[in-house]
Structure 1
Amino acid sequence: MDFTPSIVFMLLLSLVGADGIDRQGLVTKYNVFRTTLVDNNTTPLQVGNGNFAYNVDNTGMQTFLPFNTLSSWAWHNDSLPSNGERITDYHGVAMVTHGRNVSYDIPDPMLPDASQWLISNPNRINLGRIGLRYLGNTLSKEIISDPIQELDLWNGVIASRFSIDGELVKVTTQGDFDTDAVAFQIESQLISSGALEVELDFPYPPIHSTKYKYEVFVGVYDFAANHTTSIRNGSSPEVVRIYHELQDTNYYVNLRWPVNLPLRLSREDPEGSSAATAHRYTLSPFSKNSSHPSKMSFSAQFSPNGQNGPLPSTIQQRNTAGWNRYWKQGGFVDLTASSNSKAEELQRRIILSQYHVRVNSAADGQSPQESGLMNNGWYGKFHMEMVVWHNAHWVTWGRKEHFDNIFPKLYETLLPSSLARAKSMGWEGARWPKMTEIDTGASSPGGINGLLLWQQPHPIYLAELAYAADPTRVTLERWDRVITATADYLASYAWKNESSGKYDIGPPAYGVTENTPPTESRNLAYETAYWRYALDTALTWKRRLGHPLPRSWSRVAPLLAPPPIADDGLYAVYAGLNSAWWDDAALASDPRSLIMLRGVLPATPAVDPEVARRTADRVQQVWDADDVRGWGRPALAIGATRNGEPARALEWMTDFDRWAFDDAGGTPPPFMPGNAGFLYAIAYMVTGWQGSEGDTPGFPNDGSWVVKHEGLLQAL
């Protein structure tokens, strides 16, 4: 086939960007290599698609460590409390709010078990373990030697090599971009001898009767009588299914293999067994003899429906094509020409974070939980106050299709329950939950959950981000219903203080850092400024559409109480504090909300830029770097960039000793806002924000940084 020069040029551009960035070469440079066996404190390597992830040990499977297989649809409810408490008796806890009793979603001391059940249910389940079996038993870590494992980032492939009793084993693992499926190819002479087989096992969710933060291995294997599994034959010899029933949660594992490499599925124990191995299955070659090929190839698709899953070859082809497309499109940052000693590690984190968010965060219709699809953090539920940190980077990195797959659908799904919540509390519009899932939309009644506020304006921030990337009437109309419900609540919630003539926010309320006294937290600085920004933006939205301006929005917005300023001329966390609050360890140990007033929060009349700059300077002086956690460093870096301090921004982003990214690029314990917030901050530092001037405002002009970039968009 003959290529014209223009066609050749376009083909080259698919690999080398317009600015001469060799994307494939740079991504491949940071492939993950492992040559030692991992333990339960290690970030597992993953394959997946944002809605589904399969997590592996050194075998490329879940063999000697029961890492998880998680999906966005797979949930389960524990048994109801056995002490006579009824879930329907829970109605929240009343707190006096500006002279009236309002019921908030916090634990009811009179219904402790019912409250805990509502916090922990539904909970995300582990769909099953797929590992290797040797000589009739689960392959032991002790007999594995010479492990070499590589995660090929560009193609989304995990290649694992190791030896068992001196015999080489090769396992190739790939996820499917289109379904909740994973494909394996296993090669070894141990297969033809019948010594090496595949093992499938199914855990049962534990009873979540106590508060916990991380369930590393999701599910347990010692409640065999509580659930059932059975083999269901498929429509052809190369298709077989395992049906799993867990009370009200039922699903299939649809197994499929090539016709020329036939396999057979057998059960270790008879149905009804109560042994720990009662739900364990073996997948092996159809005939075990020396002439049988020394290879197994199969796919496992997890689905609520029994169906013919994709062939392994189909998954392999579209997985590679999907990952190549992901890396070629969207934004990219190249620091390789930099002489700064920290550029190499910063570049590694940029590349690996993009892999992590694609596997864990590119969901359909919902935001990821804080630990992504790696393990269960907070019962697998996502946190609505974190959706900006999880997902804003999709827009600034030029990958808006993943943003659009989540928003505004997430808010539309939660809108009926949020409207009902606000109405039951005596307010208009939609009061968005804090910790939730999309099936019920309930706000899990944690001690903080029912009183946190800063998730309420998020839909307007996210809508404005979407409009900045696609300023069309389609965008305006798509978001209008959600924005209207949000702004109606913001205006309704604000309380007219006749003494000051201003509208107050709270109490009771918890601030961003969840360390403020809720009954005293009136006019939290970040929340009041965010309220003003959101209402002003909602009014602008209506003007763009040519719609009438709601009177309540127009009345409340300019009269909102401003962020409080203490006697030192600096912003205080909430109203009523004097400058002595800086000596209050409970508040000053994490004052990130004040750093967010100018940076994360776009420009608003509520915030005085000079006061915000001086306050940010004080925050960065007093906030002990050892205490900065989670998304704190991205917030600090964004604030420093906005305040014209790029050297300080880089200090926060390259504090590698304190801010750990492990060999896989994870932020232990698995914390996806760490990776996603990191990417959002990098984009902010590279391309700036609306109204900023010049390139790379977050990198010092000291000659040690050379930042090539393409496809990034400015933040708000």
Structure 2
Amino acid sequence: MQTFLPFNTLSSWAWHNDSLPANGELPSDYHGVPRETYGREVFYDIPDPSLKQATQWLIGNPNRINLGRIGLTYKGASVSSSLITQAKQVLDLWNGVLTSTFEVDGTPVKVITQGDFDEDAVAFSVESDLIKSGQLTVELDFPYPPIHTTAYKYEVFAGVYNFPLNHTTSIVNQNKKSGSASIHHQLQETKYFANLRWPTQTPLSLTRNEPEGLNATTAHRYTLQPSSTARKSSSISFTAHFSPDQHTPPLPSTIQKRNKLAWNNYWNEGGFVDFTESTNSKATELQRRIITSQYHVRVNSAATGQSPQESGLMNNGWYGKFHMEMVIWHNAHWATWGRQKYFDRIFPALYERLLPSSLARASSMGWEGARWPKMTDPLCATNSPGDINAFLLWQQPHPMYLANLAYRASPTRETLQRWDKVVTATAEYMASYAHLNPRTGRYDLGPPSYGVTENTPPNSTKNLAYELAYWRYALDAAAEWKRLLNLPVPAHWTHVASNLAPLPVVDGLYAVYEGLNTTWWSDPKLTADPRSLIMLQGILPSTPAVNTTLALHTADKVAAIWTDDKIRGWGRPVLAINSARIGNATRAMYHLTAYDYWKFDDAGFAVRGGDGGTPPPFMPGNAGFLLAVAYVVEGWEGSRGEAPGVPRGEGWVVRSEGLVKAL
């Protein structure tokens, strides 16, 4: 309704499983692939070359589906770019109202769209003389998910129209008295309803364009237009509501009123940062990014009980699944911006949902506690097979970091008890996974293992610097959690924590992992992205494992070799955070405002940069940006003074309210 492109209607609850592999392989046949670990055979979730189709099925399923497309038709055909002129679109951020004006074949059209905070619904209003003449109508179309091979790992426009007989749609209710109708969509085990409603004083009629059972790409199209008995009007309004259940949704006027109030409340709650008094030429764009990022995370990243996929609710990346190593970069900003209620909707419910399968995963691999997945979904809660998915480590300590964010916001026994099961299961795994090296008397991590940047050789990578430091922080935090509950601290937690292998050091600087020598600084594979080393004094809170002087010198070395042309993704936020924490405010603000390299599009979405790799937008970019802004403006535990990451005397003037110090 707002664009001539075939965009998506994605949700946090609508998922689908493809048909089973055609060659007869079953997902249940897959049991992982063995890799020697600490002198024994351990089965990991990596692709099995003898079960290629079953492995791919597990990687691609379940997948997030496009609930349907709603758009305009002119004289029976979808409105295309060739027909549109004089296009203008304005987003009223304060009220959450998107207004598009344009001309179709020379006649003005105005479309107003508002999403609903309370239900999975959108309210539309359309004004044009083309409605009165019957030439402009609304079309609903329902795609089917493709077979999710590697070709459909990233879907910009989710769904295809090649399999009309694989799914069914039908009008199951059309009630003229209430001004409502429902379309039932059945895709094998997945089913849901598109519930519609309109004002009875301007009645609409819903009709199917083609007979049921038609084997054509147009088989599941419907038209919504003024009823033949209605008084001719140049405007229509309606609600489109998607739900697993059939019911009568709110009137568009109801959504239009409460939506504005909900957005007003959102902007009035939590923190705000104001750079508008700055004379620095970069201040205006920085302010734009701060405001639009807050809008986009509320739309795309505020689900209940799950973290967003990296492209939010706009496109499908990795089949619509989310990544557990990214949950802090997606969601920690809620806590630092004083919007804790959004954080609490996600955690610890997400980990509670994943706990049974994570306990089973660790047990099957011979360890205690819960081994959290890397790439997963809210339904099956499995770890999608993949080399990186199997060997990545840094998602394991995240629950301790997040639990501390929750406790700082609400330092009560209730918070401690709510998180205790997750904290305990995490610590049990971490203490169990660490392996006592009989030669050194220290506990090693890996191999096999992958570091933060996923560019180390997994079969030989041992004792990654950041992962060792994070392990120490998390085990210490778990022990303190027990003390706060007046419960005994398991002795093996503290023993492993205090006897972890030391962080690898080469020539007075930290190295990415153990066994490297001075030449690693000339290895383009490693220096293309050495962000894990700046995270030692960045996102990671203070821990005895990290020598702050060494970390500072290492950060300066990284700044010299990790040049602007190499930085992408959430690299800028972590660089800004690290720079602020080591006392280099000028460098911190540079990374937040490196506009020539770190692009935000005209809508305010962060661009991932580099090789792309995922469909836009890149939500960790917006969310990580907000987290970094909170760091430089409000500071972190132990920081001193106001705005410790904002340089003095460079034209920057900042005011803020409602922010909370980071960990």
TM-score bracket, normalised by the shorter chain, equals over 0.9
Indicate the residue corresponding to 2:533 in structure 1.
Answer: 594
Q: CA deviation at 1:298?
A: 0.4
Indicate yes or no: 2:661 matched with 1:707. Answer: no
Distance 2:54 2:11 in 1: 27
Q: How big is the shift at 1:471?
A: 1.4
Contact (CA 8 Å) 1:160, 1:172: kept in 2 or not? yes
Alignment partners' CA distance in 1, 2:639 and 2:76 = 65
Q: How far does the alpha carbon of each residue in 1:447-502 deviate from its partner, in whole angstroms, 9 at most, with x for none?
A: 21011000000000000111122212121111111000000001000000111110
| Superposition map of 1:244-259 within 5 A | 244-259=185-200
Paired residue for 2:499?
559
1:660 aligned partner: 599
CA drift at 1:693 = 0.6
Larger deviation: 165-174 or 326-335?
165-174
How many angstroms apart in 1 are the aligned matches of 2:643 and 2:127? 48
Mapped contact 1:194–1:288 kept (Cα < 8 A) = no
3-state DSSP class of the match of 2:429?
helix
Amino acid at match of 1:104: Y
Query: Does the CA contact (< 8 Å) of 2:165 and 2:213 recur in 1?
Result: yes
Q: CA deviation at 1:324?
A: 0.4
The SS at the match of 2:311 is coil
Deviation string for 1:111-161 (max 9, x for gaps)? 111111100100000000000011111122211111111011001110111
Q: Show the 5 A alignment for 1:64-103.
A: 64-103=4-43
2:180 is aligned with what amino acid? Answer: V
After TM superposition, the structure 1 = structure 2 runs for residues 98-137 of structure 1, keeping only pairs within 5 Å, are: 98-137=38-77
Letter in 2 for 1:563: L
Matched, 1:581 2:528: no
* Deviation, structure 1 residue 211: 5.1
| Aligned residues of 2:369 and 2:426 also touching (Cα < 8 A) | yes
C-alpha root-mean-square deviation of aligned residues, in Å? 1.1
2:565 is equivalent to residue 618 of structure 1? no
Corresponding position of 2:612: none
- SS state of the match for residue 241, structure 2? strand
SS in 1 for 2:265: helix
Q: Which amino acid aligns with 1:123?
A: N
Question: Which stretch of structure 1 is more off in the superposition, 138-147 or 613-622?
Answer: 138-147
Matches within 5 A, 1:172-211: 172-210=112-150
- For residues 187-336 of structure 1, the aligned pairs below 5 Å read 187-210=127-150, 212-234=152-174, 236-287=177-228, 291-336=231-276
Q: Does 1:517 align with 2:457?
A: yes
Unaligned ranges ≥5, structure 2: 608-615
> 1-side partners of 2:540 and 2:463: how far apart?
16
Deviation per CA, 1:392-411: give whole Å up to 9, x if none: 00000000000000000000
Structure 1 counterpart of 2:610: none
Q: Which amino acid aligns with 2:304?
A: D
How far does residue 214 in structure 1 lie from its aligned partner after superposition? 2.4
What is the identity, as a one-letter code, of the residue corresponding to 1:631?
W
Counterpart among 369, 389, 394 of residue 454 in structure 1? 394
SS at match of 2:90: strand
Paired residue secondary structure (1:141): coil
Query: Are the aligned partners of 1:234 and 1:308 in contact in 2 as well (CA < 8 Å)?
Result: no
Mean alpha-carbon deviation: is it higher for 298-307 or for 131-140? 131-140
Q: Distance in 1 between matches of 2:235 and 2:282?
A: 44
Counterparts of residues 383-462 of structure 1 (less than 5 Å) = 383-462=323-402
Q: 1:178 offset after TM fit, Å?
A: 0.7
Task: Report the Cα offset of residue 702 of structure 1.
Answer: 1.3
Give the match for residue 23 of structure 1: none
Amino acid at match of 1:188: S
Distance 2:480 2:348 in 1: 18
1:221, distance to aligned residue in structure 2 (A): 1.4
Aligned position for 1:145:
85
Please say if residues 146 and 152 of structure 2, whose CA atoms lie closer than 8 Å, have aligned partners that are also in contact: no
CA contact (8 A) 1:113 1:209 kept: no
Alpha-carbon contact 2:48-2:55 (below 8 Å) kept: yes
Deviation string, structure 1 residues 374-409 (Cα, Å, up to 9, x no partner): 100110000000000000000000000000000000
Q: Is contact 1:365–1:410 with CA below 8 Å preserved after alignment?
A: yes
TM-score when normalising by structure 2: 0.97
The CA deviation string for residues 301-339 of structure 1, in whole angstroms up to 9 with x for no partner, is 000101111111111111111100000110000000001
**Any idea what SS the aligned residue of 1:596 has?**
helix
Counterpart amino acid of residue 196 in structure 2: L
Residue 171 of structure 1 corresponds to 111
**Contact 2:143–2:161, Cα closer than 8 Å, also in 1:** yes
Tell me the equivalent position of 1:40: none
Comparing 445-454 with 227-236, which one deviates more in the overlay?
227-236
TM-score, structure 1 normalization = 0.90
Q: Which residue of 2 aligns with 1:44?
A: none
Residues matched between the structures, number: 654
- Taking the aligned partners of 1:490 and 1:234, their CA distance within structure 2 comes to 56
Contact 1:68 1:218 in 2 (8 A): yes
SS in 1 for 2:536: coil
1:646 lines up with 2:585 in the alignment: yes
CA contact (8 A) 2:634 2:659 kept: yes
Contact 1:227 1:244 in 2 (8 A): yes
Letter in 2 for 1:714: K
Runs of at least 5 residues in structure 1 that lack an aligned partner in the other structure: 1-58
| 3-state secondary structure, aligned to 2:288 | helix
Partner Cα separation in structure 2 for residue 111 and residue 196 of structure 1: 51
C-alpha separation between the residues in 2 aligned to 1:209 and 1:139? 31
Partner of 1:168: helix, strand, or coil?
strand
Question: Partners of 1:274 and 1:657 in 2: how far apart?
Answer: 50
The alpha carbon displacement at 1:288 in A equals: 6.9
- Residues 331-368 of structure 1: CA deviation (Å, up to 9, x unaligned): 00000000111111111100010011000001100000
Quote the Cα distance in structure 2 between the aligned partners of 1:430 and 1:234: 49
Alignment of 1:37-76 (within 5 A): 59-60=1-2, 64-76=4-16
SS in 2 for 1:448: helix
In structure 2, what is the equivalent of residue 673 of structure 1?
620
Quote the Cα distance in structure 2 between the aligned partners of 1:472 and 1:430.
25
Separation in structure 2 between the aligned mates of residue 528 and residue 521 of structure 1, nearest angstrom? 12
Q: Are 1:378 and 2:309 matched, yes or no?
A: no
From 620, 626, 629, give the equivalent of 1:682.
629
State the distance in 1 between where 2:433 and 2:217 align: 53
Q: Is the 8 A contact 1:192 1:288 kept in 2?
A: no
Aligned AA (2:527): A
- Give the match for residue 30 of structure 1: none
Is 1:608 matched with 2:555?
A: no
Q: Is the 8 A contact 1:193 1:288 kept in 2?
A: no
Output aligned runs, 1:493-572, within 5 Å: 493-566=433-506, 568-572=507-511
* 1:96-121 CA distance string (max 9 Å, x none): 00111000001011111111110010
Check the 8 A contact 2:60/2:153 in 1, yes or no: no
What is the one-letter code of the residue matched to 2:226? P
Three-state SS of the structure 2 residue aligned to 1:358 is: helix
Q: Which residue in 1 is equivalent to 2:613? A: none
Letter in 1 for 2:127: E
Q: Does 1:473 align with 2:420?
A: no
